[in-house]
Chains A and B, each alone.
Chain A
Amino acid sequence: DAGVTQSPTHLIKTRGQHVTLRCSPISGHKSVSWYQQVLGQGPQFIFQYYEKEERGRGNFPDRFSARQFPNYSSELNVNALLLGDSALYLCASSWDDQNTQYFGPGTRLTVL
């Protein structure tokens, strides 16, 4: 079975631009969560979606938004990019919102 997939793998943007990251969960998983990981730190929670509804939001500015589609895939959008947004963005899926989360390979975002 395919694991969590994310696209693109790498992305380079300049300050002020907008970016959209995509995630496809493991088949049968209904919950998707997004995390940001900067170098040397553990992943930081951004959003969790379950059955297309936002279930939780971390301490991130309104420039960050996300949504989940009927097929349970998800998008993370970041507007007005800052240098500090450079990080590995991780998507994780789980069967529901209370179980083990399985991570994708991540999208490496570099903001210049």
Chain B
Amino acid sequence: SQKIEQNSEALNIQEGKTATLTCNYTNYSPAYLQWYRQDPGRGPVFLLLIRENEKEKRKERLKVTFDTTLKQSLFHITASQPADSATYLCALGGGRGSNYKLTFGKGTLLTVNP
């Protein structure tokens, strides 16, 4: 069955440092991968989408890489701020048999300390 793992349940870093979150998957060939931010009790907020034929995508302080050979995506937040503290979810979609649903990891809780 499809499996998505986000490298850690929690990550603590100092303000100004780069946060790197990892998403690994098995038994899946997604057409695209998305990253979402979720604050407690709220719905996920879309951040970035990267397609299977793309290696890297950037948006302001955010960068996502996608390695379909390693079956891994890395999500970077540079110059991190306390306001970046939240749970970050990796979601895969569009692969064969997926019916275009999103399959989510459990998320990584990022805490940026001032």
Residues of A within 8 A of B (CB): 4, 33, 35, 40-45, 48, 55-58, 88, 90, 92, 97-98, 100-106, 108
Residues of B within 8 A of A (CB): 4, 31, 34, 36, 41-46, 49, 89, 91, 94, 98-107
Other-chain residue from B31, B99, B100, B102 in contact with A43 (beta carbon distance below 8 A): B102
What's the Cα separation between A104 and B37 when bound, in Å? Answer: 13
Q: CB distance B42 to A56 under 8 Å?
A: no
Closest Cβ of chain A: how far from B79's Cβ, in Å? 25
What's the Cα separation between A32 and B2 when bound, in Å? Answer: 23
Closest Cβ of chain B: how far from A38's Cβ, in Å? 11
Other-chain residue from A42, A45, A105, A108 in contact with B101 (beta carbon distance below 8 A): A45
What's the Cα separation between A104 and B43 when bound, in Å? Answer: 6
Which residues does chain B contribute within 8 Å of A4, judged by CB atoms? 43
